[in-house]
């Protein structure tokens, strides 16, 4: 099977890491194709970055080869995931939701350890959207930018350890979700220091995407995630235009 | 004072109507500038349309003249409004939130009468984001497209009457919010037939935007709605790029 | 237009300040009539005060001149506002709800800075009733009585600054609502010291009342806010008695 | 022990029935004193009635003999009960809360069968205030006025049977709470026809008030239900005035 | 009347204390029969203990004499109470729910003071199940085991005082519920030191069970608490087997 | 890897089907060991059945061979799953939670199609415990017993189709979760008739259990799911006894 893991930002080092992590946890027969959009922010830290990233993210689905079996949206916050689900009926898995489901099976309460304080509202919105609010002990922010999670691994581990301990001791967290795709691959280093499981959100999404394909499931297109109406998307290239005749990306 | 009312879709007839309604309810000394983005969908009916509309919407704020005092986002769903609030410290008012606040002061429960069934989830997400869930009796969808609300006024009134009566009699609605910018100007025709107040969401946003300016308020930039970090937005024009030196749109 | 701003307590200095603030933010053509009931507590700090204030508050609506266009209930807690809405179909705006709506458009989370600790439950009940619970970061109490907010302005500013900083730094507040009508007019002094917008609740109610009149709206009388049934209100003066023949205050 | 059961409306036939029911379920050594205030509405069906009833209700506590051990507020909606708890440290039990607690121990979900449709919001507010929202299957209104529940017993039973069946069959109710003090004494007639327990709310409050006295408990006066501050209650008789020296009603 | 108070653990000293407390608060004509199951854990501190206790608890109901009028489940957490309600139509009262109802009538917010930290989730689950979440200020754990609450009364008082003060001062608790049956009889010693009412949960359940009998109520058997279907319970003694012919324990 | 799938009831035909389904969706290198406890009900349809099933279920974990990598609890309702997580640190996955996570990634709202009406409360409790309440459109019951789901496959399909259509058309369901382990293997037959994805809950649990092992995760034992305290479990065999020296099942 082929899974396309889309890093919605345009920093290729992060994309490579995402691919590596997804590949590590999936079966040998599963091919991971990790990509970044052509356009969009080099990192997603604000709602502004988030919204500017989505058209490029959608483009990666709209122009995907026919033989892709599932998609991963590799930004904690699952930006634009509802729109992704409209334009393909292949399963689309967000790393935020995936990590919370895994966490919820391992402990009574989880916390999200993440980047800059300004992202808190954005992160909390993802928790709410997924419906996991009552099981989330806290969102704990560090001072790390997204880029630093990739380029300053030691500082990232240090920052995450600090807020994870706070989450465990003050908020009652029993599991930690790593709240940024750039933190992919750090779960083991953290588990070596912490008394709780740590969820690599990219890894969680990879195995869940694979699972949905194995179960033979497609996204529901009966209502909310129906194919978009045929209409002009002014100023966007042809592959963004849906027409009555055009098939969806995966018909 | 100058208020820029942005219709996030690219249908100019709707933009004109939005301008007319906003002008009608604001003071003589308030100038309404109604615009549509250069790019984006001709109507917003899906999450896909919603996300493709936001970059154009943001562009209208990023390139706004310095003397704009407030912005209106004229699509029920308040798409991208968090990002709008990051790029300007002038007040930004969404027509969804504005109409719900007004409704909440006039009756114990309100319903939203809106377009196609597929928009229900999108509309409900706006209700939740605003925090008005417990006062919302129901979201009632018609079979109307966004364009029809503008071009087929009689059919629109008919469709809205039908679902409004259902909301009143079955769901306990005591106020109706018109859940689409294209329905601007229809409140009086509906109130002539219905026993409850009907909120013109565009009108509600116009008076609220004016009110915030009168009160002398700016958007909070202490945390969530801080100016976006300086970084490359690949593939976007210069006016989308924030740099450390660049002022915000309204400094 | 004429707006009657009712201070439900019987301290006239506070009434005058309320009138001044409401007048400051409304149009020149809007006349503000600020009044206190003949009977009731000199300040509202407990549920007891609250309930003893309501009959006098209702009396001010029941005996209002015919040409009043809207009413303001100027006590954070919006005491008796449901009953007010039953006895008139002119819009009635509470300062609690008004300030929360304004706050909700300016930041992701707001806190209420208010009087004595004992009022916390009363204040929280107002937040819940309005439906704004999920957007309220905290209610922060000072040691100030209602009267002191009017008579000891320096101490009031000091007390409010202290709890506002706590709300911002510990609770994540991005906007502050001033949780007492006696604090009317203090927003600017506080904004000079704080990094967030501060909402003058009386000002917020004034512009919202004006807005509802501008939009041409009446309170819904289809169900909850129907005119009270005709019956004997034993021990109350004539103007409290509804009979089948009697018109409502504003027919 | 002596329990004062206060019917907050001024219809004495109802007061007598309330006394009879409370007496029936309490011990021989418990004396029930059933009273109505001197002033207030003859029935409580709107928020207006509710607020006008509270001063008279408070007066019955403020002027109560020293040897009263507990109070009952006999109106479904528990009007003014927070204020009652401020002015006495003897337990105060509302019939709404009491009936919901009993119902919650007998079935997985309960419904409230009550009076006129306009009371729905008022009744739902009582459910929320008590915190029982998630266990309440529905509020089902009849066309009965409060007075009719007392004077037209056959019609009342018929009306209650009709909505109770709807609650059981359509809403999943497993217990019915009788949502009006005037319905006191009807539980047995209804249980003869219905397959579920029916809670006589007055009876429930009587045994709970007795229980709290037996347990030796007083109302908490540490914060919310502290004695009201000393201040002038303009236009109210002397017994409404709290002064620094005056003891509370039950010191 | 006869009330069977079942201590679901197998520590007889605790059972005796439970009987003593229940007896103290019930009428002279009420006989309390305090028992422990034959099998089950000596104390309930984990979900594991909880689930192993339930079959023994059910056995005490299944084999109860016909003349029992009500049952008490004397473990804070109300383990297995839904199943208890299926096998008898006599009222079954849990000490957790009973204490929360009493607390809710005495203060605006209550906290639960309880045993070991590991029980927090278990205790919180009981609060949620009862529907009292919004009125619960906090769950405060001590370092006490269940057995210590019975055998080390001084240390228990000390531990409870410490966390009760924290609940009052930091969480806003106005009432304390004693969150373990072993704490029965300690309310007075705690009230002597604390400024708030303290609820003896066993006492609360005893008076509520008596109250339900006095009101003449049975558990609803229309749906959720129907008698279990006739089927083989492999490996359980005869009295656990329901057959189509067999009466329920109390038919 | 080895996964032990425990059918908590004692009907072996169902156990075999569970094993078959779990095997079908897991990798060739994954061995599924499907078992039933020695004791417990032949089917779980009431809380009574549920509680009597748990000791046998726990026994299957307590006596599991050392080389088991993960456990599945194959009853929709996830009975006793918290206790299971205390006695092993290998991942434990419930079929209820697993199916809801899968459903939540495929549609905006899901419904659960399940057995007898009496199970509704039990099923809803599982939804709440998992935290998925806000995404659950409805629980729809059939007239099927658990045994019939296994022995009367045609009638089961028919019953499920009927309630699934109701869920889709009346409740807005976009995905259906099969709410009983006995329905394992029916998803394809239902998807052939329905316009939405149907989740085989056993299959979902199987791939999730495999996923957690692949990610290398253990259950958190820092707090709630700590190993039970050492104490006597009276009347239970030796393997139920935890002592200070004894290792956990999987040390």
The verdict on C195 touching D (C-beta cutoff 8 Å) is no
**Phi, psi dihedral angles at B106 (to 5 degrees):** -110, -15
Residues from chain E contacting residue A109 (CB–CB below 8 Å): 121
Question: Are E194 and E215 found together in one domain?
Answer: no
What count of other Cβ atoms lies within 10 Å of the Cβ of residue E235? 15
Residues from chain E contacting residue C120 (CB–CB below 8 Å): 172
Nearest-angstrom CA–CA distance, E4 and E32: 6
**Phi, psi dihedral angles at E149 (to 5 degrees):** -60, -25
Q: Mean pLDDT throughout D165-186?
A: 98
**Phi, psi dihedral angles at D199 (to 5 degrees):** -95, 120
Residue B128: pLDDT above 50?
yes
Is the residue at D248 inside a domain?
no
Nearest-angstrom CA–CA distance, C9 and C38: 9
Q: Name the residue in chain F with its Cα closest to that of D173.
A: F121
Is the residue at D35 inside a domain?
yes
- What single string gives the DSSP state of each residue in D55-116? HHHHHHHHT--TT--EEEE-STT-TTHHHHHHH-SS-EEEHHHHHHHHHHHH-S-EEEEES-
* pLDDT for the residue D243: 79
* pLDDT for the residue B245: 56
How does residue C245 score in pLDDT terms, banded at 50, 70 and 90?
low
Instruction: Kindly tell me whether chain D and chain A come into contact, counting contact as 3+ Cβ pairs under 8 Å.
Output: no
pLDDT digits (tens, 9 = 90+) for A52-111: 999 999 999 999 999 999 999 999 999 999 999 999 999 999 999 999 999 999 999 999
* pLDDT for the residue F13: 95
Could you tell me which of B224, B217, B212, B231 has the C-alpha nearest to residue B86?
B224
| The token pair that represents B57 in the structure block | 């919407």
Output the average pLDDT for chain B: 96
How does residue F243 score in pLDDT terms, banded at 50, 70 and 90?
confident
The verdict on F117 touching B (C-beta cutoff 8 Å) is no
3-state helix, strand, coil in chain A (%, to 5): 45, 15, 40
Q: Closest Cα of chain F to A120: distance in Å?
A: 21
pLDDT digits (tens, 9 = 90+) for F61-116: 999 999 999 999 999 999 999 999 999 999 999 999 999 999 999 999 999 999 99
Q: Closest Cα of chain A to E243: distance in Å?
A: 37
Is the residue at A251 inside a domain?
no
Could you tell me which of A106, C209, D69 has the C-alpha nearest to residue B106?
C209
ipTM more than 0.90? yes
Indicate the residue of D120, D226, D233 with minimum beta-carbon distance to C41: D233
Nearest-angstrom CA–CA distance, D100 and D106: 10
Residues from chain F contacting residue D108 (CB–CB below 8 Å): 121
- What single string gives the DSSP state of each residue in B167-216? HHHHH--SEEEE-SGGGTT-HHHHHTTSSS-EE-HHHHHHHHHHHHHHTT
Report which secondary-structure segment, H or E, holds B146.
helix B146-151
Residue C250: pLDDT above 90?
no
Could you tell me which of B197, B202, B140 has the C-alpha nearest to residue B174?
B197
How does residue A240 score in pLDDT terms, banded at 50, 70 and 90?
very high
pLDDT digits (tens, 9 = 90+) for F5-16: 999 999 999 999
Q: Do B106 and C82 touch (CB under 8 A)?
A: no
Nearest-angstrom CA–CA distance, D75 and D52: 13
Instruction: Kindly tell me whether chain E and chain D come into contact, counting contact as 3+ Cβ pairs under 8 Å.
Output: yes
Residues from chain F contacting residue B121 (CB–CB below 8 Å): 108-109
How does residue C251 score in pLDDT terms, banded at 50, 70 and 90?
very low
Question: Are A120 and A176 found together in one domain?
Answer: yes
Question: Are C135 and C82 found together in one domain?
Answer: no
CB E218 within 8 A of CB D191: no
pLDDT digits (tens, 9 = 90+) for F8-53: 999 999 999 999 999 999 999 999 999 999 999 999 999 999 999 9
Residue B249: pLDDT above 70?
no
Q: What angle do CA F183, F186, F189 make, to 5 degrees?
A: 155
Is the residue at B247 inside a domain?
no
Percent of chain C surpassing pLDDT 70: 97
Is the residue at D245 inside a domain?
no
CA C103, chain centre distance (Å):
15
Question: Are B61 and B42 found together in one domain?
Answer: yes
How does residue B243 score in pLDDT terms, banded at 50, 70 and 90?
confident
CB B44 within 8 A of CB B149: no
Give Cα separations from B209 to C100, D186, E76, E197 (angstroms): 15, 55, 53, 49
The four Cα atoms B203, B207, B213, B218 give a dihedral, to 10 degrees, of -60
Could you tell me which of B109, B107, B112 has the C-alpha nearest to residue B124?
B112
Could you tell me which of A170, A166, A168 has the C-alpha nearest to residue A197?
A168
Give Cα separations from C3 to A119, C25, C34 (angstroms): 42, 12, 8
Report which secondary-structure segment, H or E, holds C170.
helix C153-171
The verdict on B87 touching A (C-beta cutoff 8 Å) is yes
CATH of the domain at C227: 3.40.50.12500
CB A194 within 8 A of CB A177: no
Is the residue at F251 inside a domain?
no
Residue D48: pLDDT above 60?
yes
Question: Are C85 and C120 found together in one domain?
Answer: no
Residue with tokens 């279920």: F57
The verdict on C13 touching E (C-beta cutoff 8 Å) is no
Question: Are D7 and D85 found together in one domain?
Answer: yes
* pLDDT for the residue F245: 55
What count of other Cβ atoms lies within 10 Å of the Cβ of residue E149? 28
* pLDDT for the residue A249: 44
Question: Are A125 and A161 found together in one domain?
Answer: yes
Question: Are F79 and F158 found together in one domain?
Answer: no
Tell me which residue range forms the domain holding D82. Answer: 2-95+205-240
* pLDDT for the residue A120: 97
The verdict on D120 touching B (C-beta cutoff 8 Å) is yes
Residue E133: pLDDT above 60?
yes
Nearest-angstrom CA–CA distance, B140 and B113: 5
Question: Are D156 and D126 found together in one domain?
Answer: yes
Nearest-angstrom CA–CA distance, F92 and F250: 13
Residue E241: pLDDT above 50?
yes
Indicate the residue of C42, C46, C232 with minimum beta-carbon distance to D86: C46
Q: Do C80 and D47 touch (CB under 8 A)?
A: yes
The verdict on D129 touching B (C-beta cutoff 8 Å) is no
* pLDDT for the residue E243: 79
Tell me the CA end-to-end span of chain C in Å, nearest whole number: 17
Residue A245: pLDDT above 70?
no
Q: Mean pLDDT throughout F172-187?
A: 97
Nearest-angstrom CA–CA distance, D210 and E210: 11
Is the residue at E245 inside a domain?
no
Give Cα separations from F131 to A100, A108, B179, F176 (angstroms): 11, 11, 30, 17
- What single string gives the DSSP state of each residue in A186-202? -HHHHHTTSSS-EE-HH
* pLDDT for the residue E245: 56
CB F95 within 8 A of CB F127: no
Residues from chain C contacting residue D118 (CB–CB below 8 Å): 223-224, 226
Question: Are F130 and F142 found together in one domain?
Answer: yes
Percent of chain D surpassing pLDDT 90: 96
Report which secondary-structure segment, H or E, holds D178.
strand D175-178
CB E161 within 8 A of CB E198: no
The verdict on E120 touching A (C-beta cutoff 8 Å) is yes
Residue A204: pLDDT above 80?
yes
Instruction: Kindly tell me whether chain E and chain B come into contact, counting contact as 3+ Cβ pairs under 8 Å.
Output: no
Domain count, chain E: 2
Nearest-angstrom CA–CA distance, A46 and B6: 22
Instruction: Kindly tell me whether chain C and chain B come into contact, counting contact as 3+ Cβ pairs under 8 Å.
Output: yes
Q: Closest Cα of chain C to E163: distance in Å?
A: 21
* pLDDT for the residue D249: 44
Is the residue at C250 inside a domain?
no
Indicate the residue of D49, D54, D125 with minimum beta-carbon distance to C51: D54
Residue with tokens 């009807």: D186
* pLDDT for the residue A243: 79
Q: Mean pLDDT throughout F120-144?
A: 96
Question: Are B191 and B133 found together in one domain?
Answer: yes
Give Cα separations from E147 to D38, E10, E116, F137, F232 (angstroms): 55, 11, 11, 44, 12
Could you tell me which of F145, F94, F141 has the C-alpha nearest to residue F113?
F141
* pLDDT for the residue C243: 79
Question: Are F140 and F171 found together in one domain?
Answer: yes
Burial class (CB in 10 A: 0-12, 13-18, 19+), E188: exposed
């Amino acid at each position: 099977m082929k899974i396309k893991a889309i890093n919605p930002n345009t920093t290729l080092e992060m994309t490579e890491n995402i691919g590596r992590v997804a590949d590590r946890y999936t079966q040998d027969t599963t091919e991971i194709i990790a990509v970044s959009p052509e356009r969009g922010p080099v990192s997603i830290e604000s709602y502004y970055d988030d919204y500017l990233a989505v058209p490029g993210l959608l483009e990666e689905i709209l122009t995907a080869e026919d033989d892709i079996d599932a998609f991963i949206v590799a930004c904690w916050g699952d930006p634009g995931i509802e729109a992704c689900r409209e334009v393909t009926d292949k399963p689309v898995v967000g790393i935020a939701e995936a990590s919370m489901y895994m966490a919820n099976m391992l402990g009574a309460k989880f916390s999200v350890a993440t980047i800059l304080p300004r992202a808190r509202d954005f992160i909390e919105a993802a928790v709410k959207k997924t419906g996991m609010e009552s099981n989330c002990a806290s969102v704990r922010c560090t001072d790390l930018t997204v880029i630093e999670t990739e380029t300053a691994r030691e500082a990232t581990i240090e920052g995450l350890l600090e807020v994870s301990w706070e989450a465990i001791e003050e908020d009652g967290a029993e599991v930690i979700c790593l709240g940024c795709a750039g933190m992919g691959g750090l779960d083991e280093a953290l588990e070596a220091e912490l008394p709780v499981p740590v969820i690599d959100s990219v890894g969680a999404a990879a195995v869940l995407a694979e699972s949905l394909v194995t179960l033979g499931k497609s996204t529901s297109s009966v209502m909310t995630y129906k194919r978009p109406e045929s209409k002009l998307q002014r100023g966007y290239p042809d592959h963004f235009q849906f027409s009555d005749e055009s098939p969806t990306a995966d018909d």
